[in-house]
Structure 1
């Protein structure tokens, strides 16, 4: 999946009016996801995405411990568009669904998702589990 398709899918899933909202959702969600998982998993997942999208996974610190509520707070704080900041769960779900299409639920995405504790609410955002 190329950059335009990825952003287009996020825009469609989140029902955003324009691609700028989808770009903000993608950047916010992937940067936060990259902070939550190990550096190796973030790098491996980033390698399967277009470079201008995958780089968000590796921009911050990695392997921080925070629950799903904090995850969504971080997405909202990073959201440069009102639609992302006001509904970070919609943004994260749209990006997660697009990730699943882009790289498949098996393999690397499953490895990343398996680092997110199901009982902390992540299962509702990233349901792919092995």
Structure 2
């Protein structure tokens, strides 16, 4: 998978005007997610993604503990160049795109971990990784 394909998917789903907006949104969501997930899981996900997209997950990895509302707040703070009015919807779009681009084992493991963290609202309603 190429990074362009990932960004194009986010751009389409979020109805962004440009790929730059999709990149900004992807970085905001994945960097916030990377701050919450454990390093082992992040390294496995990183290996399934194009370098720059995987880097969003791992660059500031800390395994820090925070709730879903704080996750949304971090996304909102980081989307300064992208006009979004619903960080929750944006999280679902980017996480859904991420789940579409990793193998089935990683998809299931990430879905389970998000549910354990009570981040299931970030799971898309349909498609790979959808809430059951």
Question: Unpaired segments of 5 or more residues in structure 1?
Answer: none
Partner deviation per Cα, 1:71-94 (whole Å, 9 max, x = no partner):
11011111132424x321222111
- Distance across 2 between alignment mates of 1:41 and 1:55: 13
Tell me if structure 2 keeps the 8 A contact 1:48–1:103: yes
Tell me if structure 1 keeps the 8 A contact 2:37–2:61: no
Q: Where does residue 123 of structure 1 map in the other structure?
A: 120
Query: Higher RCO, 1 or 2 (CA under 8 Å, sep at least 6)?
Result: 1
Distance 1:62 1:16, change over 3 A: same
| Structure 1 segments of 4+ aligned residues over 3 angstroms from their partners | 117-120
CA RMSD after TM alignment: 2.0
| Of 103, 109, 112, the match for 1:111 | 109
* TM-score, scaled relative to structure 2: 0.85
- Distance across 1 between alignment mates of 2:23 and 2:56: 11
How many residue pairs end up in the alignment? 127
Partner deviation per Cα, 1:90-113 (whole Å, 9 max, x = no partner):
221111111121114x31132233
User: Given the alignment of the two structures, is residue 98 of structure 1 paired with residue 91 of structure 2, yes or no?
Assistant: no
- Distance across 1 between alignment mates of 2:89 and 2:22: 11
Q: Where does residue 23 of structure 1 map in the other structure?
A: 23
* TM-score, scaled relative to structure 1: 0.86
Tell me if structure 2 keeps the 8 A contact 1:45–1:109: no
Shift of 1:21: 1.1
